[in-house]
Amino acid sequence: MLPGILVLLALPFVAVGYAVIGVVKGGELLMKSFHNHRHFRAQRAEAELDRKQEELRRTILSLADALGMEAHEARKALIRESYRASGQVPKQSE
């Protein structure tokens, strides 16, 4: 009879112990999920920044190329006007 009473007295402690373990495990799972979500969001933001950086790099290179072509045309026009103003004829290159 005494062992049965001890078992009955121990049951609430065992139940509370399992409840605490369940809460701890549930909290661990929740925190792991939260950290995974944050990591995924950070990766997604980083990928978006990389994409935008590449897009801006291409735009800058395109503008630099266009600016270089305009500068070349401006130099040619300046040279032509210089020859016209001086009345000289440019030498023909072979």
Domain residue ranges of the chain, discontinuous segments joined by +: 50-84
pLDDT, one tens digit per residue, over 3-48 is 788 888 888 888 999 899 999 999 999 999 999 999 999 999 999 9
Residues contacting 79, CB < 8 A, separation 6+: 90
Half-sphere exposure of 62 (CA within 13 A, CB side): 6
pLDDT, one tens digit per residue, over 38-89 is 999 999 999 999 999 999 999 999 999 999 999 999 999 999 888 888 888 7
Instruction: Note the pLDDT of residue 94.
Output: 54
C-alpha 35 chain-centroid distance: 18
Average pLDDT over all residues of the chain: 90
